[in-house]
Chains A and B, each alone.
Chain A
């Protein structure tokens, strides 16, 4: 790519600024205020000017940055052509660019939150640093995974990262800064990670789209709710049962859709999700309909209850251990249960990937015809993918019911399916670490914006678009091979 002349750059920036102007007039320039006379439209043209100026400057900078990159890349290419190394050169500039894009989001918050100029600048710097750090991390880890000769460094780094993350997750509830809210939020994140891991089996690994994954979540939740209501079973008995029941429904779903692909598959799975919800909503006698099921028992620790007054036949945790009663203990315990479930799910799925069944899933995603010619039974692979995915969803649902103590059909709408799918797609199809990061992102982002409730979804959408532009294949789009031999041994 040759360096582009300055007039061209200016023209390019002017076009971008013009576009920004057109968009900014209705979106930024005009706003409504409700007064005694009803809604009144007010204007703030200085803001528009700022926005246009920012876009102009940003576009110019971006262009200049790109030129610099191209020049460097050219130099580098003349020395030796190395495609995998190619983008390492522009990591720093890209980090800045990403930081720049990412910073728009919090500035948006801060302006509406009435933050001072210094706070905004501080936030900007932090975001730049985060973007910078993320990109350096990405630039370091991803080529390391791709390039064989650096694989040992890469794997060690990823492992270190994972250990750190796990350590953080395990110790989180015991940290002094962790209050009810943080533990609760952590639990929510972990539920979504569990759901994401489950859907990742069907969508990410086996390549079978599922727009109705929430059905398994609902089935798991209602399995526990109803089993405890009618048979008095407790959480630890119902957990595997819920998983099995959801897996059974997974098998049931997979049978009619064995021959479907693409759009048709999407529609049938979507229907499955909706049918499940509607059946639950209307089967008053069994599920309580819109009233839901309440009074679901809380999980205990080997017969120890976390309630202040334990139910009959149980001893309470605080009496046995002598630790003073605190409502937070129950939350911490729930958090640790779901953390353990997530770890177990991640481990099992990772193991399955290296086994013939998991490899068959991935092969199925890649090429069904080739699969058959190699003697892989596509039917069995599809059924098992839906069953395993559904089982994870069932576990998540069972836990959800135990945590809430109450389930109703409202928790299992299509938006949940969409969110879980977004987690898988954003994370990079098939990547487990990607699911974790995306779940954090998807659950935390609306939480961060809670105070700006009106703008939450805008920011959410903006962030999604940013990611799709920045990383079209998802955050971690590089598939990690299930086996890699030691290069020295070859």
Chain B
């Protein structure tokens, strides 16, 4: 059974149809990538999984349980952690406090180990531990946002454009960590990206979204070689 299964999901913003019957599955231990142009519905899809907005039709099943009716804080309790688009760290609170908040749902017994794990993953965060998160650089904030999501030991990690506004070197670092999380921790990851090259390279499977529908799907490397995908998302694009 898949860890996450979306069937025929439709989401509307008023009269606008953002998702028009999307089927997506994520298996345990996979990295699945969603790519697509602006306005294709990628972020809407992630938000719909979290529970806001609610889909107008279709089913979302997480680990055998329908989560269509759950508000975001309830889906989070089931083990779905989201790294929101634009990072959304708590700027006036320290790095450490941000991580504490990430552990809201976690078992307090794991706290020290999880903090150590995050600091191991991103040593810069340890240096910045008592600094206000708003004073971090964009890349550091993204690292913090990912660490914060990991603090609850989620079973599924949703990443919304982690490369947004970051320098190429930092992007590579972030993607390395994502791949590493999946390999060493077996973390299941659903990744939404504009940066198609990096995202497809590390994905086991990928979906291409256009105008609220899945137009292509397949293994990550396979899509990377697909001429249509290359033409639409890669040629002339930034690597």
Interface residues of chain A, those whose CB is within 8 Å of chain B, are 148, 151, 356, 359-360, 362-363, 365-367, 369-378, 479, 481-485, 487, 490
- Taken together as a complex, chains A and B put the C-alpha atoms of A360 and B76 apart, in Å, by 15
Q: Is the CB of A373 within 8 A of B90?
A: no
Q: Is the CB of A485 within 8 A of B50?
A: no
Q: Is the CB of B100 within 8 A of A359?
A: yes
For residue B183, CB closer than 8 A to chain A, the reply is no
Residues of B within 8 A of A376 (CB): 73, 101, 104
- Taken together as a complex, chains A and B put the C-alpha atoms of A323 and B97 apart, in Å, by 53
Q: Is the CB of B130 within 8 A of A484?
A: yes
**Residue from A148, A366, A375 whose CB has the most chain B CB atoms within 10 Å:** A375
CB proximity to A under 8 Å, residues B88-133: 88-94, 96-97, 100-102, 104-105, 126, 129-130, 132
The one of A151, A367, A375, A377 that contacts B90, using a Cβ cutoff of 8 Å: A367
**Known interface pairs A363-B101, A369-B84, A484-B130; A374-B93 also in contact (CB < 8 Å):** no
B67 nearest CB across to chain A (Å): 13
A-B contact pairs, 13 of them (CB 8 A): A359-B104, A360-B101, A362-B90, A366-B90, A367-B88, A372-B50, A372-B72, A374-B101, A374-B105, A374-B152, A376-B104, A479-B92, A483-B96
Residues of B within 8 A of A363 (CB): 90, 93, 101
User: 4 closest A-B pairs (Cβ-Cβ)?
Assistant: A375-B76, A366-B90, A372-B72, A370-B88
**Known interface pairs A367-B88, A374-B148, A490-B129; A481-B93 also in contact (CB < 8 Å):** yes
Q: Is the CB of B97 within 8 A of A481?
A: yes
Residues of A within 8 A of B91 (CB): 366
A473 nearest CB across to chain B (Å): 11
Residues of B within 8 A of A485 (CB): 96, 129-130
Residues of B within 8 A of A359 (CB): 97, 100-101, 104
Residues of A within 8 A of B71 (CB): 372
B85 nearest CB across to chain A (Å): 10
For residue B82, CB closer than 8 A to chain A, the reply is yes
Q: Is the CB of B100 within 8 A of A483?
A: yes
- Taken together as a complex, chains A and B put the C-alpha atoms of A365 and B132 apart, in Å, by 15
Known: A373-B81, A485-B130. 12 other contacts (CB 8 A): A151-B130, A371-B73, A372-B50, A372-B52, A373-B84, A374-B81, A374-B148, A374-B152, A375-B73, A375-B76, A375-B104, A485-B129
For residue B172, CB closer than 8 A to chain A, the reply is no
Residues of A within 8 A of B148 (CB): 374
B123 nearest CB across to chain A (Å): 12
- Taken together as a complex, chains A and B put the C-alpha atoms of A490 and B125 apart, in Å, by 12
For residue B77, CB closer than 8 A to chain A, the reply is yes
B95 nearest CB across to chain A (Å): 10
Shortest Cβ distance from B80 into A: residue: A373
Q: Is the CB of A482 within 8 A of B105?
A: no
Q: Is the CB of A360 within 8 A of B97?
A: no
**Known interface pairs A372-B73, A373-B82; A481-B88 also in contact (CB < 8 Å):** no
Per-position contact with A for B11-43: 1 when CB-CB < 8 Å, else 0?
000000000000000000000000000000000
Residues of A within 8 A of B149 (CB): 373-374
Residues of A within 8 A of B152 (CB): 374-375
- Taken together as a complex, chains A and B put the C-alpha atoms of A369 and B81 apart, in Å, by 12
Q: Is the CB of A362 within 8 A of B93?
A: yes
**Known interface pairs A372-B52, A372-B73, A378-B73; A490-B126 also in contact (CB < 8 Å):** yes
Q: Is the CB of A481 within 8 A of B96?
A: yes
Residues of B within 8 A of A372 (CB): 50, 52, 71-73, 76
B129 nearest CB across to chain A (Å): 7
Residues of A within 8 A of B93 (CB): 362-363, 366, 479, 481
- Taken together as a complex, chains A and B put the C-alpha atoms of A375 and B74 apart, in Å, by 6
Q: Is the CB of B130 within 8 A of A360?
A: no
A151 nearest CB across to chain B (Å): 8
The one of A362, A365, A370 that contacts B89, using a Cβ cutoff of 8 Å: A370
- Taken together as a complex, chains A and B put the C-alpha atoms of A267 and B89 apart, in Å, by 29
**Known interface pairs A373-B50, A375-B104, A377-B73; A481-B130 also in contact (CB < 8 Å):** yes
**Known interface pairs A148-B130, A359-B100; A374-B92 also in contact (CB < 8 Å):** no
- Taken together as a complex, chains A and B put the C-alpha atoms of A481 and B73 apart, in Å, by 25
Residues of B within 8 A of A362 (CB): 90, 92-93, 97
Residues of A within 8 A of B84 (CB): 369-370, 373
A391 nearest CB across to chain B (Å): 24
Per-position contact with A for B42-78: 1 when CB-CB < 8 Å, else 0?
0000000010100000000000000000011100110
Residues of A within 8 A of B90 (CB): 362-363, 366-367, 370
Residues of B within 8 A of A374 (CB): 73, 76, 81, 101-102, 104-105, 148-149, 152
Q: Is the CB of B73 within 8 A of A482?
A: no
Q: Is the CB of A481 within 8 A of B94?
A: yes
A156 nearest CB across to chain B (Å): 17
Shortest Cβ distance from B50 into A: residue: A373
**Residue from A356, A362, A369, A376 whose CB has the most chain B CB atoms within 10 Å:** A369
